[in-house]
Amino acid sequence: MMETGPSPALFSQAAELIAASRQPLLVCHVAPDGDAIGSLLGLKWLLEARGKIVTALSQDGVPENLRWLPGAASVVNEAGGLPDLVIGVDCSDPGRLGSVIDDTRFSRVPLINIDHHITNTEFGAVNIVDPLAASTAELLFGLAQTLGWEVPTTAAQCLLTGIVTDTLGFRTSNTTARTLFCAQQLMETGASLHLITERVLERRSFDSICLWGQALSAARLEDSIAWTVIPLSMRAPCGSVEQKDSGIASFLVSAQEAEVSVVVVERKEGVADVGFRSAGRVDVAAMALQLGGGGHPKAAGCTINAPLAEAVEIALAATRAAVAEAIQ
């Protein structure tokens, strides 16, 4: 890993817990993206290669465009049995783990927290957190390298998917030479970059395209904020059951007039997920943190427990204040 990354001592502490474990439980964040699922499955393959009996859990399942990944069919959405170790991947705070964090069965089980979000609250017994890593998948590859673990082709494919999706195809500002080196090593192990680009970045379901059409037609631009709302009533006619904004927030912030984009997605009645993207001047991670969420300076999110109209106003009020402060 880079000199500015986690210390070798942290890797050693994690290695000791993993070595002592027989049945680890891996958990990614709710409403998972490519880095969450890629990291979840990549670590699953890494640990299974070391003889572990691994359970990979994603409370909200695996998004349709990632179900081709090796091991995706084995992901469960609730924990069964009692693991001897819990590893959270790509989760900035315990709430992002979902209902697992409230399961009293796990209260005495050690937890390793592996993440790259600058807003991470270091909630684990061991915290391997590196905000300079472009993705959690990159951080996991660094962990495997440092500990001398074998990286099966299946793990390489999943980890490369995490890197490619979180960097939007190596285009984000936190993409570094280290990121490209990790990608090179994973490709040399057998991971296909073309497959990831084709299946995740270039193609999407027709339902997703329909959702984009409706969400963009409802979009507004006010005070340098490009925003839209995706209520349950919008998703239903599209046949879309995905709870994320499907990349719409990243697309909206590409508008020349926008400093920030906001997409509010109604997950269920009284609960809304909010995605924020910044063109650069506004730190949306700090803004999301104030609302109980987190993320990166240019890409963040939160969950607001309120009726949809109220959630929209809360998200927009926070955004207006952040934009006004940043560009005053």
SS3 for 228?
Answer: strand
Characterize the bridge pairing of strands 225-230 and 220-222. antiparallel
Q: Return all residues near 213 (Cβ < 8 A) that are at least 6 apart.
A: none
Where does the chain have alpha helices with state H? 8-20, 34-48, 136-147, 153-166, 177-189, 193-196, 206-217, 232-238, 248-252, 284-290, 308-327
pLDDT for position 3 = 43
CATH class of residue range 8-201: alpha beta
pLDDT in tens, 297-322: 999 999 999 999 999 999 999 999 99
Question: Could you tell me the residue ranges of all domains in the chain?
Answer: 8-201, 206-327
CA distance 208 to 216: 12
- Closest Cα partner for 278 from 323, 235, 244, 239? 323
Residue 107 tokens, joined: 């209260």
CA distance 16 to 301: 33
Overall size of the chain counted in residues: 328
pLDDT in tens, 131-140: 999 999 999 9
In CATH terms, are 8-201 and 206-327 the same topology? Answer: no
pLDDT in tens, 204-263: 888 888 999 999 999 999 999 999 999 999 988 777 555 566 689 999 999 999 999 999
Mean pLDDT for the stretch of residues 71-76: 98
Q: Are 193 and 183 in contact (CB under 8 A)?
A: yes
When the pLDDT of each residue in the chain is averaged and rounded to a whole number, the result is 93
Mean pLDDT for the stretch of residues 288-293: 93
Judged against a pLDDT cut of 90, whether residue 143 lies above it is answered with yes
Residue 79 tokens, joined: 């924990």
pLDDT in tens, 160-183: 999 999 999 999 989 999 999 999
Mean pLDDT for the stretch of residues 69-81: 94
pLDDT for position 1 = 38
Q: Catalogue the long-range contacts made by 281-289 (C-beta closer than 8 Å, 24 or more residues apart).
A: 281/326, 281/327, 282/322, 282/323, 282/326, 282/327, 283/322, 283/326, 284/260, 284/322, 285/117, 285/118, 285/119, 286/322, 287/318, 287/319, 287/322, 288/119, 289/119
Residue 281 tokens, joined: 């001047």
pLDDT for position 113 = 98
Q: Return all residues near 253 (Cβ < 8 A) that are at least 6 apart.
A: 226, 260, 261, 277, 278, 279
pLDDT for position 4 = 58
Higher pLDDT, 10 or 104: 10
pLDDT for position 244 = 61
**DSSP code at position 197:** I
153 backbone φψ class: left, alpha, beta (φ>0; ψ -120 to 50): alpha
pLDDT for position 240 = 59
Residue 189 tokens, joined: 């192990």
CB atoms within 10 A of CB 199: 17
pLDDT for position 162 = 98
pLDDT for position 245 = 66
Give 206-327's CATH code, choosing from 3.40.50.300, 3.20.20.220, 3.10.310.30, 3.40.50.11810. Answer: 3.10.310.30
Mean pLDDT for the stretch of residues 185-192: 98
Q: Would you call 3 exposed, middle or buried from its count of C-beta atoms within 10 A (0-12, 13-18, 19+)?
A: exposed
pLDDT for position 327 = 85
CA distance 244 to 51: 34
Q: Are 268 and 305 in contact (CB under 8 A)?
A: no
CA distance 118 to 189: 30
CA distance 226 to 254: 9
Mean pLDDT for the stretch of residues 322-327: 92
pTM of the predicted structure, to 2 decimals: 0.88
pLDDT for position 2 = 42
